[in-house]
Amino acid sequence: MANLILYEKTGCPWCIKVLDYAKERGIQFELRNLTTPGVAEELIKRGGKRQVPYLVDNRNGTEMYESADIIEYLRQN
């Protein structure tokens, strides 16, 4: 299981913002795209909404929505 999972959707500007930030800093995610069958349902079950980006950090159980919050979390961790 990957340490960091990012639920995203192709073309989502907020997802691109998080992905660009991570790429610049060498942070890698297991990406789960909402267009893949079953992923949207998995996201809703996990977080309660069909909103992306959504970060899961399996190292400590942190899960969150909102690109700015995700970037700040990645910056601090």
Number of H helices, E strands in the chain: 3, 4
Q: What is the pLDDT of residue 2?
A: 79
Please report, for the chain, the start and end positions of each structural domain, with discontinuous segments joined by +: 4-76
Q: How far is CA 39 from CA 25, 26, 54, 71, 77, in A?
A: 26, 25, 12, 22, 26
**CATH 3.40.30.10 is the classification of domain 4-76:** yes
The predicted model scores a pTM of 0.94
Question: 2-49, pLDDT tens digit by residue?
Answer: 799 999 999 999 999 999 999 999 999 999 999 999 999 999 999 999
Amino acid identity of residue 33, one-letter, is N
